[in-house]
Amino acid sequence: MPYRIGVDIGGSFTDFAIFDEQTNTLRSLKTFSRPDKPGAEVMTGIGLAGERYGIKPEDISYFTHGTTVGINTVIQRKGLSLALFATEGFVDVLEIGRIKIADMYNLLSRRPAPLIGRDMVFGIPGRLDAVGEEIEPINEQAVSDAIKRAVAAGAEGIVISLLHSYRNPAHEQRVKAMVEAQAPGLPVFCSSETWPIIREYERTITTIIGAYVQPRVAEYLGSLQRALAEVGVAGEPRLTKSNGGVMTAEQGKSECVQMILSGTASGVIGASYVAKVAGIEKCMSLDIGGTSADVAIIIDGEPQYGVGELIGEFQIFIPSVSVSSIGEGGGSIAWVDGQNVLRVGPESAGSSPGPACYGRGGTRATITDAFVALGAIGHADLGYNAVKVDREASRRVVGELAEKLGHTIEQTAEAIIDIAVSGMYTDVSALVSRYGIDPRDFSVLAFGGAGPMMACFLANEMRMKEVVVPPTPGVLSALGGLIADVKNDFLSTVYVEASDQAAIVIADEFKALKERALAWLREGQGYDGEYDLIYSAEMRYRGQSFEIDTRISPEAAAGHDMAGMVDSFHKEHERIYGHSDRDAAVQIISIRLVISGKTRKPEFPKLPLKVAQAVPQGTVQVWMKGAMRDTALFNRTDLHPGHYLNGPAIIGQEDCTTVVPPGCALKVDEFGNLRISSGGQE
């Protein structure tokens, strides 16, 4: 019996989504994450799938996986010791960057130290001009000397990022050949091969991040491949990518930069699919796990994309699902500072020891402990019975903070939640302003182990339309990886002014990109099914500093509709900025082709609505809104399409707990989603 498995490793739990291809049914499970031994949790989960569902490793026909190994390597600064070869006269590219202050509200803030120190940056004589013509040849003696000095200084890899290599990679390729000849076995990374974008700093930092994480990612993926093969899982495992697609693990070993945001992207892809099926036009995904809370904007079932996403302290300039971190996760630790002020995060208890209520040695109060101390959590085991909730442990650690502050346990626990929600409110408000949207028009799709627990509190503060909790919210990121398409981006910098002659150039470049894309899909990924192509161009008015990525038609890509291409840009500029200048000259800086091979998706059929008031399994005492309240307790499996109820209520299920505050009303839609709307204030 064939099964498709998607896995997402989080800070506290590792989630599994299991799709039965014969019955079209979806199952799920969780196991504790193993930051001390990444990958071990995957094998544990495969074993649990056999114990609980009778799934043998040889029955697994498709395996996909989202990992945070790359981003954690950057955050922890435990990557490769690198040297940078830059064009002579431009060796300060990392220190100069974009000359932006780290925190615009703090004049004393400092930018992070570069991943490559100035003493490991070597100037290479030789120049190309802006159109890729050689002005000065590469000085090979200088290159040879730089290689010797870099090796002597302890370089474990060399990054080559030379001026204008996005137009002509010849100089970078010559330097690479010399490194391979003079220092065989030393990893070497070219910016023109990694992501050949215009702008020196952006191209350089993107290449550096990919090189920095490469050995740890490759080692992890190699171990995963061997472990899966040893237990009998057939086929090449796949990885979720930053752009919301998947690629083979083998490709991921060398193209680490493409999957560095794979974990966060998976959740948004899963949320987008749920939103599309449920017909939610305007949606904000809210993914709260053990360590962080992340949001993304989804319009008409499609996530928003962008470049410049943060990887720790640095931006990376590859196409990515646009995700913003807005606060802490369920395992974030509450503490009292030197001024006797209660604070929450950013430190997290993670999976080991985890919150105090997990009974794994945690001794500090977390957001999860606050909910447990209030009585909202603890009426069923968590994480598919992986955790038996110890309420007394939570009340003890929250009580330690309460004693310092001179408040009751309940007041302190509620304050912890209020502080966490307040931080989210501030960051979501900034996101709303950036996108120019009205939160009152948006639904919040909550998932992750702690998303349904906190979503209503944030939505009420933001006055958002409703909260939507899907049937398996705790493993939605794993589902996202499972349903993600085989997808890749291809880019070419053209830097031309819109004209009939430019149309010929663009047509030739798109033709070459399509050939590369099909070769990648058919030969590199072994995919022989149907595929989609999306054409776009980064365009701007002459004199502007930055471009707008604009979707264009296949006719424009073939060079037959330059006027339509320019018109698309005018409309996009007006949509974003509220105005356009149809008399101004338009420049096309680069073109991009996205190829997607479709994967099989689980079907979520509409179920008949049988309108009835839900009957609770009992009543529990929960502190909410400053008072202890009789709160209805429900099991998610007892709620069916058409059921409705009013808060306060607690809804427990195997992978998470949903908290419905007083004044909120809930109904179950025809797909089994919980739709929670505000019922007004008490």
Distant-in-sequence, close-in-space partners of 502: CB < 8 Å, separation ≥ 6: 494, 496, 562, 588
Q: Per-residue DSSP letters for 475-528? A: GHHHHHHHH--EEEEEEEEEEEESSHHHHHHHHHHHHHHHHHHHHIIIIIS---
Using DSSP, state whether 9 is helix, strand or coil: strand
**CB of 227 within 8 A of CB of 41?**
no
Confidence of residue 107 (pLDDT cuts 50, 70, 90): confident
Is beta strand 332-336 parallel, antiparallel or unpaired with respect to 342-348? antiparallel
Q: Which helix (H) or strand (E) holds 678?
A: strand 674-678
| In-domain check, residue 124 | yes
| In-domain check, residue 577 | yes
pLDDT attached to residue 682: 40
**CB of 271 within 8 A of CB of 296?**
yes
Q: What mean pLDDT is predicted for residues 408-420? A: 95
| In-domain check, residue 214 | no
My answer on whether 660 and 620 are in the same domain is yes
Q: What is the span of the domain harbouring residue 633?
A: 612-678
For residue 662, what is the DSSP state?
Answer: T
pLDDT attached to residue 630: 94
- Angle of CA points 402, 405, 409, to nearest 5°: 20
- Dig out the tokens for 362 from the structure: 């945690």
pLDDT attached to residue 11: 63
Q: Return the residue matching tokens 């009426």.
A: 379
pLDDT attached to residue 435: 78
- Max alpha carbon distance in the chain (Å)? 82
Average pLDDT of the chain is: 90
Distant-in-sequence, close-in-space partners of 237: CB < 8 Å, separation ≥ 6: 63, 64, 65, 224, 225, 228, 248, 249
For residue 382, what is the DSSP state?
Answer: B
User: Which residue, 582, 588, 555, is CA-closest to 567?
Assistant: 582
Residue 501 CB coordination number (10 Å): 11
Q: What mean pLDDT is predicted for residues 246-262? A: 87
User: Which residue, 329, 662, 297, 301, is CA-closest to 444?
Assistant: 297
My answer on whether 587 and 636 are in the same domain is no
User: Is the pLDDT assigned to residue 26 strictly greater than 90?
Assistant: no
Q: Which of 186, 218, 240 is the last residue of a domain?
A: 186
Report the sign of the C-alpha dihedral through residues 478, 458, 453, 610, in that order: negative
My answer on whether 493 and 593 are in the same domain is yes
My answer on whether 632 and 587 are in the same domain is no
User: Is the pLDDT assigned to residue 97 strictly greater than 50?
Assistant: yes
My answer on whether 567 and 658 are in the same domain is no
**CB of 506 within 8 A of CB of 591?**
yes
The total number of structural domains that make up the chain? 3
Task: Give dist(CA 365, CA 373) in Å, integer.
Answer: 10
User: Is the pLDDT assigned to residue 33 strictly greater than 80?
Assistant: no
pLDDT attached to residue 39: 74
User: Is the pLDDT assigned to residue 109 strictly greater than 70?
Assistant: yes
Task: Give dist(CA 317, CA 620) in Å, integer.
Answer: 50
Using DSSP, state whether 38 is helix, strand or coil: coil
Q: What mean pLDDT is predicted for residues 373-387? A: 74
Q: Per-residue DSSP letters for 147-193? A: HHHHHHTT-SEEEEE-TTTTT--HHHHHHHHHHHHHSTT--EEEHHH
| In-domain check, residue 130 | yes
Q: Which of 186, 202, 233 is the last residue of a domain?
A: 186
My answer on whether 89 and 139 are in the same domain is yes
pLDDT attached to residue 681: 38
Q: What phi, psi does 158 have (nearest 5°)?
A: -125, 130
Q: Return the residue matching tokens 């310092």.
A: 404
For residue 521, what is the DSSP state?
Answer: I
Where do the H-state alpha helices sit in 80-239?
93-96, 140-152, 170-182, 191-194, 200-231
pLDDT attached to residue 260: 86
- Determine which of 383-387, 412-416, 440-444, 641-645 has the lowest per-residue pLDDT on average: 383-387
Q: Which helix (H) or strand (E) holds 658?
A: strand 657-660
Provide the residue count of the chain.
682
- Angle of CA points 237, 73, 63, to nearest 5°: 10
Task: Give dist(CA 582, CA 567) in Å, integer.
Answer: 8
- Which amino acid type is present at position 510? F
My answer on whether 152 and 178 are in the same domain is yes
**CB of 63 within 8 A of CB of 233?**
yes
| In-domain check, residue 667 | yes
pLDDT attached to residue 384: 54
My answer on whether 515 and 575 are in the same domain is yes
Task: Give dist(CA 92, CA 96) in Å, integer.
Answer: 6
**CB of 446 within 8 A of CB of 457?**
no
Residue 615 CB coordination number (10 Å): 11
User: Which residue, 354, 412, 357, 350, is CA-closest to 379?
Assistant: 357
**CB of 350 within 8 A of CB of 331?**
yes
Distant-in-sequence, close-in-space partners of 392: CB < 8 Å, separation ≥ 6: none
Is beta strand 314-316 parallel, antiparallel or unpaired with respect to 246-248? unpaired
**CB of 280 within 8 A of CB of 468?**
yes
User: Which residue, 123, 129, 73, 125, is CA-closest to 93?
Assistant: 123
User: Is the pLDDT assigned to residue 457 strictly greater than 60?
Assistant: yes
Burial of 186 (0-12, 13-18, 19+ CB in 10 A): middle
My answer on whether 496 and 565 are in the same domain is yes
Q: Which of 563, 597, 631 is the last residue of a domain?
A: 597
pLDDT attached to residue 40: 82
My answer on whether 543 and 573 are in the same domain is yes
Report the sign of the C-alpha dihedral through residues 32, 35, 36, 39, in that order: positive
Q: Return the residue matching tokens 């090189």.
A: 211
Task: Give dist(CA 195, CA 318) in Å, integer.
Answer: 7
| In-domain check, residue 661 | yes
| In-domain check, residue 631 | yes
What's the pTM?
0.85
Confidence of residue 599 (pLDDT cuts 50, 70, 90): confident
User: Is the pLDDT assigned to residue 680 strictly greater than 60?
Assistant: no
CA dihedral 420, 426, 431, 437 (to 10 degrees): 110
The end-to-end CA distance of the chain, in Å, is 53
My answer on whether 579 and 669 are in the same domain is no
User: Is the pLDDT assigned to residue 312 strictly greater than 80?
Assistant: no
| In-domain check, residue 358 | no
My answer on whether 646 and 592 are in the same domain is no
- Angle of CA points 36, 39, 43, to nearest 5°: 120
**CB of 117 within 8 A of CB of 192?**
no
**CB of 471 within 8 A of CB of 445?**
no
**Share of residues in the chain with pLDDT > 90 (%):** 58
User: Which residues on neighbouring strands pair with residue 645, listed in sequence order?
Assistant: 666
User: Is the pLDDT assigned to residue 434 strictly greater than 80?
Assistant: no
User: Is the pLDDT assigned to residue 517 strictly greater than 80?
Assistant: yes
- Cα atoms in the 13 Å half-sphere on the side-chain side of 184: 1
Q: What mean pLDDT is predicted for residues 446-456? A: 92
Confidence of residue 638 (pLDDT cuts 50, 70, 90): very high
Q: Which residue has the higher pLDDT, 76 or 677?
A: 677
Residues 2-39, buried b or exposed e (16+ Cβ, 10 A)? ebbbbbbbbbbbbbbbbbbeeeeebbbbbbbbbeeebb
User: Is the pLDDT assigned to residue 381 strictly greater than 80?
Assistant: no
Where do the H-state alpha helices sit in 526-630?
554-557, 562-577
